[in-house]
Amino acid sequence: MARYIEIHPDNPQQRAVDQATAVLRDGGLVAYPTDSGYALGAQLGNKEALERIRTIRQLDDKHHFTLVCRDFAQLGQFVHVDNAVFRAVKSATPGPYTFILPATPEVPRRLLHPKKRTVGARIPDHAVVQALLATLGEPLLSSTLILPGEIEAMTEGWEVKEALDHAVDAIIESGEVAAAPTTVIDFVDGVPDVVRAGAGSTARFV
């Protein structure tokens, strides 16, 4: 049975944040709220959690996992960006965007697209996620919590508990979150390619 951790959406209590990060550091898989629905998160090097995410979501090996970062400085340790891409990504973060970018050697190979050596990266605009990342001190390995057969991310902690109580180690509750997925922009070739239009405006990338 998963731990159910309630955290205030605007003023996260540090004690509760510490409980959640302790689960992550202990090798656990956590369902957590973001600015675009719930996501599944674990520490970067957690191979077992990666496979658990694949199982829960029924993903193949071509799926782009996402590095959820606290800020642009942290993101820059894990992806390659030239000046033009830097400006474009910086202007859109934090916010509901995922950027597909070439990965640096800091990213575990099992997280990369098998042929392109790319990874998704994003900086969410959500106080609870920001508090988790600040306490953890590193990005989260993450994937949007969309169950097989569904097209939208889950949006409420109690729904996640009903569906995944025995599949994850902790569920963070902070009230209902938006269901709209992130807008996905592929910058691998240095120019923006809108892979998926979502919550973030595409106007600046077209």
Output the domain CATH number for residue 70.
3.90.870.10
Alpha carbons within 13 A on the beta-carbon side of 85: 21
Domain presence at residue 94? yes
What's the domain count of the chain? 1
Q: Tell me what pLDDT residue 190 has.
A: 85
Give the pLDDT band of residue 110 (cuts 50, 70, 90).
Answer: confident
Q: Band of the pLDDT at 7, cuts 50, 70, 90?
A: very high
Q: Is 151 domain-assigned?
A: yes
Domain membership flag for residue 191: yes
pTM: predicted TM-score of the whole model, two decimal places: 0.92
Does 73 map to a domain? yes
Longest CA–CA span in the chain (Å) reads 47
Under DSSP, the state recorded for 68 is E
In the predicted model, is pLDDT for residue 59 greater than 80? yes
Distance in angstroms (rounded) separating the CA atoms of residues 42 and 51? 11
Q: Classify residue 108: in a domain, yes or no.
A: yes
Are 124 and 34 contacting, i.e. CB atoms less than 8 angstroms apart?
A: yes
Q: Which domain holds residue 51?
A: 3-198
Residue 204, domain member (yes or no): no
What does the CA dihedral 116, 105, 23, 95 come to, rounded to 10 degrees? -60
118-142: pLDDT as tens digits: 889 999 999 999 999 999 999 999 9
Residue 177 forms part of a structural domain: yes
Q: What is the pLDDT of residue 55?
A: 95
The verdict on residue 206 lying in a domain is no
